[in-house]
Amino acid sequence: MNVTELRRFLAEIPVVMLGMIYLITLIGSMLFYLIPIQLPFYLQTVAAVSGTLTGFILASYNVTAMIFSSQFQRFKAQFGIVLLIALVFGLMGAGYVIISLSSAALGIVIGLLIAGFGWGLLIPTTNTWVSQTVTQARRGRALGWVSSMIFLGQFLSPILSQPIIERVSLAITYEIAGVVMLLLTVVFVVGHRRYTSSGRNVPQPSSDTE
């Protein structure tokens, strides 16, 4: 591919928009995996929960995610893509803060269920956003990168979180993660308001073919 072909290719791909979507997916994935990787240790340390009960608690996280994921179209019609991302980080952030402040299993479970609602909306939201951003000819490859970001987040989560946990504790790590996500919620809400107040909408592909 020569320089001219590269420029033409980049002109057909909304690189900045896709980069932002992939970054959102990566951040969400890294923070999500704080639950399946670290929460069993947290439950045993803070609430002395047995291994069997820990398994049921983690399963409930996935069930709540499944419930909200199945209702994605309703949420999309109500909020739109950008506000859905804000809702994702708002729910996950609130859940993580509750987990960090809880010293009993019940509080941790409540925080976990709230966070699960947010996680259930993240993947269908980012997939839909990518599908709306690129043409049909580019869609398969673009969606493949969403999956790549999820796996990369799974890989990076323990690598990046463990030094923080060792330095400040697991509870504070959850609190930091929760505050970060709540700040991201504010960013996306403000960004959505500024974007819509200018009379613009999320960019759509001009057609389904190249």
Model pLDDT for residues 118-152, shown as the tens digit of each residue: 999 999 999 999 998 888 878 888 899 999 999 99
SS (H, E, C) 89-145: HHHHHHHHHHHHHCCCHHHHHHHHHHHHHHHHHHHHHHHHHHHHHCCHHHHHHHHHH
Domain-wise residue ranges, the chain: 29-125+156-196
Please tell me the distance from the alpha carbon of residue 159 to that of residue 43, in angstroms, as a whole number. Answer: 21
Which pLDDT value is given to residue 9?
56
Orientation of helix 105-133 relative to helix 72-79, angle to 10°: 70
- CATH classification of 29-125+156-196, choosing from 3.40.190.10, 1.20.1250.20, 3.40.50.150, 3.40.50.2300? 1.20.1250.20
- Phi, psi dihedrals of residue 172, rounded to the nearest 5°: -70, -30
Residue 51 has pLDDT above 70, yes or no: yes
Residue 163 has pLDDT above 90, yes or no: yes
Say how many residues make up the chain.
210
